[in-house]
Copies of this chain bind each other. A is one copy, B any other.
Amino acid sequence: MTTFSEENYLKAIYHLGNHGQHSVSTNAIAEKIETKASSVTDMLRKLAEKDYVDYKKYQGVSLTEKGRLTATNVIRKHRLWEVFLVNKLDFSWGEVHDIAEQLEHIKSLKLTNALDAFLDYPSHDPHGDPIPDADGNFKKISKIVLSKANENDICVCVGVNDSSSGFLKYLDKNNIALGAEIEILSKEPFDDSMNINVNGKSLAISKLISNNLYVKIRST
């Protein structure tokens, strides 16, 4: 069983890039957790002892599979609770973080799964961050087709499905480039067109367009 403190360290290591491979430095963790490097060293030794991390003195640290699973589980709970607070209790997305920071440590697998079901298995939290499943796997679909986005979503353009010159010219003309921020102002159910805001200009786009533009949802 992990303590709150252990979980916070594992989460920090995960967020500091150890979902990939590269090991994480003591100082980086200290800064993230707002503690002293010496405290981090102490905790790393303990986590290594318990097999949550691979750690060699002076060489940085990385999560073991056990550690990774624990970290993603905490992140899963954090994001599910955020969805609960925003969707069910009408909190604004700005005020949920501190509370979720507490709720993420509640220990009950059954509760987590029941909450997930109650919220209709959300794939993303209110900030647009993906919610891992119970095995720590993230849905790869951080990229969706623009037509799948919802009213009030704010997205970032990350790619196109149709790369014909005609389509790309259209995008150019309207200043829609990779990295462009797109806000969904409204969706018209009748013909699936939508009104969006790009670079401060509003624009009506047809279903044909929105079906061929990949975006990442940033926030809602």
Contact = CB atoms under 8 A, between A and B. Distances in A.
Contact of A102 (B85, B88, B107): B107
Interface string A87-128: 011110001001100110011101100110010000000000
B91 A102 contact: no
B106 A89 contact: no
Interface size class of A (residues with CB under 8 A): 10 to 19
Contact of A99 (B85, B89, B90, B111): B111
A89 B118 contact: yes
Contacts of A103: 103, 106
A202 B106 CA distance: 43
B102 A114 contact: no
A160 B36 CA distance: 63
Contacts of A106: 99, 102-103
Interface of A: 85, 88-91, 95, 98-99, 102-103, 106-108, 110-111, 114-115, 118
6 contacts: A89-B114, A95-B110, A98-B108, A99-B106, A99-B111, A102-B106
